Amino acid sequence: MPNPNGPYPGRQLFVGLTAKGAPAIIYLVTGRSPASRERRAIKRNNAVIIGPLGNVPYDPLRHYTAIKYDNISGIVAVSNGIQTEAIFETYRLLYNVSSSPDPIYLKKLMEGARSEPDSLNTPRIAGIITKGAGSFYTMVAIKRHDKPAKVFSVKPTPGTFIGISTYQGDMDNPRGYDISSGIKKIKPRVVTGFKLAQYLYDLSVAAYNGDDIRVCAIGGVFVNGKFKLSVINRFIK
């Protein structure tokens, strides 16, 4: 099975429940240029950072907090940029004050983040697993430069993940994800963070100008009151 978003998804995320009913996320980074590929995922406290391989100046479009989570509530946010922490803090606040995790907050935050100011107008994407009234909620969102932010909210079912990517998959002509096509779904049978990361990483093997486009993949599962995350970095073994 190839990547459900074609050879070049750009950045891609999935949120859902494992077959055992545990909340889980997967995040994938791919890149066509050497600068895009010279990155790695770093676990740090209750977050995962996408950072440079070496002594490279900070670039807010390439270096960012990709994942932020809370072991007390089980809330986790994932995105491809500056919006991650704002989404996480908003839904953790809603949880702490016993307010409904309404998708409108995610929509407003994505509108505020806008698309990335690069030559491709790369969309911002995000996902959140949160809780309300004792149940988990899963949402994914996208903000293209030419369309209002769109949020897809789905009642999670064990074994199914919903996802979205920045691009439609065309390696030579990257275009923003086609919102009209809805969300992608995958049904990995694996149940650990490492296996989930490996699952999406293996689905996404592709080359551009003879070089592997894969940068890293992160998988995380909330089990026994704690998120357990695993990272696969192409350039760090």
C-alpha span between 156 and 137 (Å, rounded): 7
Residue 153 lies in a domain: yes
Mean pLDDT for 126-151 is: 95
Q: What is the mean pLDDT of the chain?
A: 96
Res 237: pLDDT: 59
Give residue-wise pLDDT tens across range 218-233: 999 999 999 999 999 9
E strand or H helix at 147: none
Res 55: pLDDT: 83
Residue 30 lies in a domain: yes
35: three-class secondary structure by DSSP: helix
Give residue-wise pLDDT tens across range 94-133: 999 999 999 999 999 999 999 999 999 999 999 999 998 8
Residues constituting the chain = 237
Residue 202 lies in a domain: yes
Residue 3 lies in a domain: no
Residue 6 lies in a domain: no
Mean pLDDT for 90-97 is: 96
Q: How many domains does the chain have?
A: 1
Residue 196 lies in a domain: yes
Mean pLDDT for 139-160 is: 97
Q: Which residues contact 209 (CB under 8 A, 6 or more apart)?
A: 32
Judge whether residue 54 has pLDDT over 90.
no
Judge whether residue 151 has pLDDT over 70.
yes
- Amino acid in position 137: Y
State which residues form the domain around 208: 11-233
Residue 110 lies in a domain: yes
CATH of the domain at 147: 3.60.20.20
Largest CA distance in the chain: 52
Residue 2 lies in a domain: no
